[in-house]
Amino acid sequence: MKLIKQLKLILITLFLSLILTTPVLAKEIPTEVKISLGNTAGELKFFPDKLEFVTGKSYKLILDNPSNQKHYFTAKDFADAIWTRKVDAGNVEIKGAIRELEIRPGAIAQWVFTPMKPGNYDLSCSIPGHKEAGMIGKIAILSAQ
């Protein structure tokens, strides 16, 4: 009888530890990728201007703006091809679909997402004149297979 009681206790402990640790294991640590919108010299460019992701993986895209004017991260088709977990900006965390980000001078945002649809997508800054001046980029989503 004592053995059965001990076995029961072991089973309950195992069950509880499984429940408690599973969500932690399921949350993959995202790969960090950085992109700067403009630079201190005032160049109208993305640094780097090419990004590459793989479907099914988790990413944290860190966007910063070291310039003295605001910029946009505009990549609507790319935004439709990913699943956004959240965007962290200052003290605000935004959940759900994001299509465009405005990054003010000195600001930083973290976009956590998982690419879903492979393809090549265009990136640009939608401030008038910036795209024409060369503030464009390419984002590739590669298939995991």
Query: Which of 40, 35, 54, 11 has its CA nearest to residue 137?
Result: 35
Window contacting Cu ion (CB under 5 A); options: 57-65, 80-88, 109-117, 132-140: 132-140
Q: Could you tell me the two tokens for 48?
A: 């780097």
Tell me the closest approach of the beta carbon of residue 120 to Cu ion, in angstroms: 21
C-beta neighbour count of 33 within 10 angstroms? 15
Contact flag: residue 127 with Cu ion (CB under 5 A): yes
Dist CA 34 CA 51 (whole Å)? 9
Contact flag: residue 130 with Cu ion (CB under 5 A): yes
Closest chain position to Cu ion (CB): 125
User: What residues between 61 and 100 interact with Cu ion by CB under 5 A?
Assistant: 71
Dist CA 132 CA 122 (whole Å)? 14
Q: How many residues bind Cu ion (CB under 5 A)?
A: 5
Which of 125, 137, 139, 141 is close enough to bind Cu ion by CB under 5 A?
A: 125
Name 20's Cβ contacts closer than 8 Å, sequence gap at least 6: none
Tell me the closest approach of the beta carbon of residue 131 to Cu ion, in angstroms: 8
Residue with tokens 């990413």: 59
Tell me the closest approach of the beta carbon of residue 125 to Cu ion, in angstroms: 3
Residues forming contacts to Cu ion in the complex (CB under 5 A) are 71, 125, 127, 130, 135
